[in-house]
């Protein structure tokens, strides 16, 4: 009886925050959806409904930018997982009592500004940056490389570093949930360490890998600061177009239309990952 009362009290105290949070998100989404169907007549909400904003997105320019954004965000997410999985595996399997320390070190870059981390990569990959200087000192190149910065690979590397912790944590949680007796049983039955990893550890940790991909893909698809600072015109993404429509162009309806399209694009990987995670969890 006492537990039920405490549960009811907790629900009552958290209800206002939940209503404000959910209501605020719902209001923002409704406002974005409404503005995407309005005309751009220098008024806040417009004076007429129109489908012209969505028809504008049929232009080849927007299709190229959309495809480029998906490729860059997807590649950056995969690169992040490739870099994060070994770190998460080491922390989960070998860190022992120092897991908290290693997790703190993983999140250490988040103690600084996101823009500072982007500018750090710009200093590393720049024409006179640290990487070019190191390669010249080693005698591997005779003049600085101009292809390191203001290219899509620079955006992928910067995004992978910026969101690494978002991938490490769900993969670590998935690895920690694996019963160590399963790996021990595989070893006792004569399986090699590589076979144990490929046939037991990796499949059981896939829910964490899928969750990490979605968690990284969502913010990278809409990122606009990183492409603008280290990507250049060749790496313009959909986030840059949205930022331009809301600021320099002042076409809020078209900016909202682009935002709606991005949300629809994000729905596919999110729903697919959710379905696969649930399907794996339902397996005996």
CATH annotation of 53-282:
1.10.3720.10
- Based on its alpha-carbon atoms, the radius of gyration of the chain, rounded to whole angstroms, reads 23
CA–CA dist 218, 76 (Å, integer): 11
pLDDT at 100 over 70: yes
CA–CA dist 259, 65 (Å, integer): 13
CA–CA dist 34, 31 (Å, integer): 5
- What pLDDT shows up at residue 284? 45
Residue percentage of the chain with pLDDT more than 70: 90
Q: Is 215 helix (H, G, I), strand (E, B) or coil?
A: helix
Query: How far are the Cα atoms of 135, 162, 168 from residue 116, in angstroms, in the given order?
Result: 24, 10, 21
CA–CA dist 14, 6 (Å, integer): 12
pLDDT at 11 over 80: no
Residue 74 is encoded by which pair of tokens?
């997807």
pLDDT at 189 over 90: no
pLDDT at 1 over 70: no
CA–CA dist 18, 24 (Å, integer): 10
Domain spans of the chain, in order of start: 53-282
CA–CA dist 133, 143 (Å, integer): 9
Each residue's pLDDT tens digit, 236-267: 899 899 888 888 888 888 888 998 988 888 88
């Amino acid at each position: 009886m006492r537990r039920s009362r405490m549960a009811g009290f907790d629900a009552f105290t958290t209800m206002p925050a939940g209503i404000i949070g959910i209501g605020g998100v719902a209001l923002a989404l409704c406002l974005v959806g409404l503005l995407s169907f309005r005309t751009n007549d220098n008024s806040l909400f417009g004076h007429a409904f129109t489908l012209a904003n969505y028809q504008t997105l049929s232009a080849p320019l927007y299709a190229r930018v959309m495809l480029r954004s998906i490729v860059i965000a997807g590649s950056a997410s995969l690169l992040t997982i490739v870099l994060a999985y070994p770190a998460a595996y080491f922390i989960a399997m070998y860190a022992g009592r120092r897991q908290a320390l290693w997790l703190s070190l993983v999140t250490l870059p988040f103690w600084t500004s996101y823009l500072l981390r982007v500018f750090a990569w710009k200093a590393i990959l720049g024409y006179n940056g640290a990487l070019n200087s190191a390669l010249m000192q080693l005698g591997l190149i005779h003049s600085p490389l101009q292809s390191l910065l203001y290219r899509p690979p620079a955006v992928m590397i910067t995004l992978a570093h910026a969101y690494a912790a978002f991938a490490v944590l769900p993969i670590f949680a998935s690895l920690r949930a694996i019963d160590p007796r399963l790996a021990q049983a595989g070893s006792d039955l004569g399986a090699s360490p590589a076979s144990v990893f490929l046939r037991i550890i990796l499949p059981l940790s896939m829910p964490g890998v899928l969750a990490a991909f979605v968690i990284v893909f969502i913010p990278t698809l809409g990122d606009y600061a990183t492409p603008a600072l280290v990507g250049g015109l060749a790496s313009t993404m959909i986030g840059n177009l949205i930022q331009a429509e809301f600021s320099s162009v002042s076409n809020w309806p078209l900016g909202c239309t682009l935002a709606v399209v991005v949300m629809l694009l994000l729905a596919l990987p999110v729903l697919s990952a959710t379905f696969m995670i649930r399907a794996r969890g339902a397996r005996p």
